[in-house]
Amino acid sequence: MSTGILLTCMLFTAMGASMDLESVPLDWVKVGGEIGRRIDITIYNNTMVMDIDGEFLEPFVKKENVGGGYIGIGKTIDALVRFAKYTNDPKVIERKDHVVKTLLDAQEKDGYIGLFKKSDRVWKLWDIHEIAYIIYGLLMEYRFFKNESALEGARKAGDYLIQNMSPYPGRIPGDGDVCWEMGTTGVETAMLCLYEDTKDPKYLDFVKSYMKLDQWDGPIIKGRWGHIQGHAYAHLKRCMAKMQLNRIETNLDLLKPSRKVLDFILKDNGMVIIGTCGQHECWHDTQEGSANLGETCMTAYLIRWWDECLRETNNSKFGDLMERAIYNALFGAQSLDGRRIRYYTPFEGKRVYFDQDCYCCPCNFRRIIAELPQMIYYTKDNSIYINLFTPSKATLTVDNTPIEIEQETNYPSEGVVKVKINEIPYEKAFPIAFRVPLWCKEVKARINNGDWMVKNDLTGNIWSIENSWEKGSILEINFDMKMRVIRGTQAQAGRVAIMYGPQVFCVSRKANPQLANKDLRLITIDPKSIEGPFPDDTVRKGGLKFTVKGWDTLNWYPLVKYDYENIILTEFPNPDGEMTYLHVINPDDPIIEDDEFWGLSM
């Protein structure tokens, strides 16, 4: 057995036909705190106010496109379906129904459901990609709302793709402008979901014999060149399709590309501190963080992929990765009022918003936000597992017993989490388990104000607390949350970033008028002068900031007094944030530590 296969087996040893952790039904959970606020503004300040008829639906009704184009209507249906289920708000349901019906009414007799003129269908970019996600979106409508006409429409669209692609094995959409992985992104998932919902073997067969999914071994190609074979989102999407295929017919070889990506991002500088990957959509390992860093599609897919890995392996470190990306790269990709979304979220230099509501990134952003409610609680056999800490309520089923659970917390501003049993029909013994974050060296817990239990050996693991719970029981958890000074690598060598819990902090000129005309890369800080956290509402009510002292890099530090007595660092999603890694006087200062993810074996 080769080392690669052995590692794959070790990591994904628990992976079989089913998930180890079960998600909570979407309509059984309600989320508050910053995660809940982001969900709400994405629904009501974005999805519900964008021009759904003009920008999204009209192209599919008219079908006049020639030469190219992409909207992302399938991704939008997926997000709307989940938002409708989560809120049960008649207005959201009405908008979702309107989009599904308008699109299905526009489907042609041969099954075509796209925006192109007849002459340009299928092989012009991005017709196949668009149709693949429409199939997926319609199947989610079927799965969440039992809408048979959506299943029928998805089937017809799937059959249309098979009929029109099958005569041309290996043909690359866009006449070879982009690689095969990019041009067909989403097809395997759509077909595998069709197979799961219909059990018709032709969909599974297409994925294997035409798409040759099982043969792809996932080479990591860095940089944007040639036919863009290093496209990170297309790559990860395909890794996930292979994981899905493994759930259908167990074959651990299918997990090798996922293993490869995991090693690249954790051991070879493939991921950056804000929890995302890629420069200009493509793999990079330079740790540069300007301009085109972290495509929002990639951030969304990383979170989704880690959630699947978590559910399949029950390895809580995937939850650590999820929350790093959620609080930094993901929330940083959205304006504070929710209306605007970014294509890229750099950690250095000015950030800009994307100028449309459609296209890949805004649509994938909405989808992952719509999935967040199901990433907080899970059940496993007869226990409850808490992955994300945020004010929330959920009804979970343990041994067929419905239990309403609630979290009260100011997380991520502080590490105290109160878990309350609101409803339980009778006293019942079962474990409540939760993630102990990798940054947390000491964790305490107590039941009903009893004695604190203290653990120092659970960092990066799960603490499972067995007890007989009844209505009103309270499990209080206290994570020791300390400021961390994180060492930069590669392009960020000699520099540090400040973190607190899962949050990264950044410098904006707006918060620091004294730096208005300064090159922020030419500021040198004294890490011993960092103070905080202090309350700061720049990004969110109840948010945090830190302060630090420093010099102009051209000055004779440390022998002269500070040029800057009060440089303010705010939470990373601050839209005015421009600099995350700051130059330090002593790169070997013992206060500086490695990012807890760096070199991590999972």
Residues lying near Zn ion in the complex (CB under 5 A) are found at 295, 297, 360-361
Please give the torsion angle defined by the CA atoms of residues 354, 355, 357 and 363, in that order, rounded to the nearest 10 degrees: -20
| Burial tier of 422 (Cβ tally within 10 Å: 0-12, 13-18, 19+) | middle
Shortest distance, position 12 Cβ to Zn ion, whole Å: 27
Residue type, 43: I
Long-range CB pairs of 533-536, under 8 A, 24+ apart, other chains included: 533/413, 533/483, 533/500, 536/568, 536/570, 536/571
Nearer to Zn ion, 31 or 297 (CB): 297
* Of residues 255 and 333, the one with the C-beta less far from Zn ion: 333
Considering beta carbons, is residue 74 or 543 the nearer one to Zn ion? Answer: 74
Least separation in angstroms between CB 240 and Zn ion: 16
Q: Which phi and psi angles does 165 have, rounded to 5°?
A: -95, -35
Do residues 134 and 107 touch, judged by C-beta distance below 8 A?
Answer: no
Q: Which two tokens stand for residue 446?
A: 């107590």
The residue to which tokens 């526009």 are assigned: 106
CB of 257 to Zn ion, least distance (A): 20
Task: Write the burial class of residue 493 (CB in 10 Å: 0-12 exposed, 13-18 middle, 19+ buried).
Answer: exposed
**CB of 342 or CB of 540, closer to Zn ion:** 342
Nearer to Zn ion, 356 or 395 (CB): 356
User: What span, in angstroms and rounded, lies between the C-alpha atoms of 541 and 155?
Assistant: 46
Residues 6+ apart with CB under 8 A from 356: 55, 362
Q: How far is the CB of 297 from Zn ion (least distance, A)?
A: 3
- CB 210 → Zn ion: shortest distance, Å? 26
Q: How far is the CB of 292 from Zn ion (least distance, A)?
A: 11
Q: Which is nearer to Zn ion, 232 or 567 (CB)?
A: 232
Choice between 77 and 394, CB closer to Zn ion = 77
CB of 546 to Zn ion, least distance (A): 32
Q: Nearer to Zn ion by C-beta: 278 or 577?
A: 278
Measured from the CB of residue 57, what is the shortest distance to Zn ion in angstroms?
Answer: 21
* Residues whose CB is less than 8 angstroms from the CB of residue 584 and which lie 6 or more positions away in sequence, other chains included: 494, 495, 496, 524, 525, 526, 527, 592
For residue 139, what are its two tokens?
């199947």
CB of 258 or CB of 345, closer to Zn ion: 345
| Rounded-to-integer distance, Cα 428 and Cα 469, Å | 5
Instruction: Give least dist CB 550 to Zn ion, A.
Output: 36
Rounded Cα–Cα distance for residues 271 and 265 (Å) = 5
**Torsion angle of the four alpha carbons 455, 457, 458, 461, in this order, in degrees rounded to the nearest 10:** -170
